[in-house]
């Protein structure tokens, strides 16, 4: 690999195209760390947003009017405000009134750090859309199917988890796929509160090496790759779960 690194160093000297994240070990490690942070942040937010969507869609049909109102208010709040504003609201407004703890150096630090707030904010943002996506799938399940489950003695929760949700999931997978793709792209907003994801690390590199075009090109390719892998996986999952009359 040293020969490859040296080639890119000479390539920079000959052409002026400065790919420090390839031939410089410090920049390479920083960018790799940012890439894996982006992957980890995306996976956690994807999982939590789906869980929020499933629970919220179930709560929309609850008998409690107060619960239904809370879910509606949550959806309207997160759908009608910009995700960056939400991120700042959680990190600066809510974070400032949270309790603090003493670290090993004897300094006060917040209980939740910037990474935790990014996960919370982005998960709630995507979860609000997922609630409506799952609701649309639930409404596509015939009432006769639900009535048959009730006739067999299923409770409302059992009907939802074992009958309605599996069928609704197949119907709403294309819309869910689209929202999850948007969520992966939205993780770049974590840069605004110094979460060391890929955009943040790329910014640190181009600030040191003044190679903005090269870093922006890499970021574009990297996100095309990440989103492409997600879309490929979701499409395969969608085809494997397809049933006649549901999701086809």
**What is the rounded CA–CA span in Å between residue 203 and residue 191?**
9
- Residue 227 and residue 181 in contact, taking contact as beta carbons nearer than 8 Å: yes
Full DSSP string of 95-133: HHTS-EEE-TTS-EEESS-HHHHHHHHHHHHHHHHHHHH
pLDDT at res. 141 = 83
- Residue 147 and residue 141 in contact, taking contact as beta carbons nearer than 8 Å: no
**What is the rounded CA–CA span in Å between residue 41 and residue 127?**
15
Residue with the two structure tokens 């879910």 = 71
Sign of the torsion formed by the C-alpha atoms of 132, 125, 177 and 157: negative
CB atoms inside a 10 Å sphere around CB 26: 11
Compute CA 154 distance to the chain's CA centroid, rounded to the nearest angstrom: 34
What is the number of helices (H) and of strands (E) in the chain? 12, 2
Long-range CB pairs of 69-72 (<8 Å, 24+ gap) are: 71/131
pLDDT at res. 245 = 58
pLDDT at res. 239 = 82
Q: Return the CATH architecture of domain 39-196.
A: Orthogonal Bundle (1.10)
pLDDT at res. 107 = 77
Cα Rg of the chain, angstroms:
23
Q: How far from 235 is each of 44, 46, 137, 176, 187, CA to CA, in Å?
A: 20, 16, 17, 11, 22
**What is the rounded CA–CA span in Å between residue 20 and residue 3?**
15
* Through-space distance between the first and last CA atoms of the chain, rounded to whole angstroms: 48
Q: How far from 238 is each of 28, 33, 49, 54, 177, CA to CA, in Å?
A: 36, 31, 18, 17, 9
Residue (of 88, 70, 39, 75) closest to 197 by Cα position: 39
pLDDT at res. 34 = 95
**What is the rounded CA–CA span in Å between residue 213 and residue 217?**
6
pLDDT in tens, the chain (248 residues): 788 888 888 888 888 898 898 889 999 999 999 999 999 999 999 999 999 999 998 898 888 899 999 999 999 999 999 999 999 999 999 988 888 888 777 777 888 899 999 999 999 999 999 999 998 888 888 888 888 888 888 887 888 888 888 888 888 888 889 999 999 999 999 999 999 999 999 999 999 888 999 999 999 999 999 999 999 998 888 888 776 655 44
Q: Is 243 helix (H, G, I), strand (E, B) or coil?
A: strand
pLDDT at res. 243 = 67
């Amino acid at each position: 690999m040293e020969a490859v690194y040296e080639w890119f160093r000479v390539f920079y000297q000959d052409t002026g195209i400065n790919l420090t994240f390839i031939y410089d070990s410090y920049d390479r490690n920083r960018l790799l760390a940012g890439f894996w942070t982006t992957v980890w942040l995306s996976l956690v937010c994807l999982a939590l947003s789906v869980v929020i969507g499933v629970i919220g869609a179930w709560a929309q049909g609850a008998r409690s009017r107060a619960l239904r109102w809370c879910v509606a208010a949550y959806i309207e709040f997160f759908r009608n405000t910009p995700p960056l504003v939400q991120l700042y609201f959680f990190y600066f407004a809510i974070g400032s009134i949270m309790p603090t703890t003493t670290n090993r150096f004897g300094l006060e630090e917040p209980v939740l750090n910037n990474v935790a707030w990014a996960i919370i904010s982005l998960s709630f943002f995507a979860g609000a859309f997922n609630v409506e996506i799952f609701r649309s799938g639930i409404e596509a399940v015939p009432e006769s199917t639900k009535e048959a489950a009730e006739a067999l003695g299923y409770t409302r929760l059992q009907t939802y988890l074992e009958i309605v949700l599996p069928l609704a999931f197949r119907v709403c997978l294309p819309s869910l796929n689209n929202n999850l793709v948007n969520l992966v792209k939205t993780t770049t907003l974590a840069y605004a509160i110094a979460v060391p994801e890929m955009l943040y690390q790329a910014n640190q590199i181009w600030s040191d090496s003044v190679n903005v075009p090269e870093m922006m090109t890499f970021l574009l390719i990297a996100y095309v790759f990440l989103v492409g892998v997600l879309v490929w996986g979701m499409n395969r999952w969608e085809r494997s779960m397809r049933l006649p009359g549901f999701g086809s």
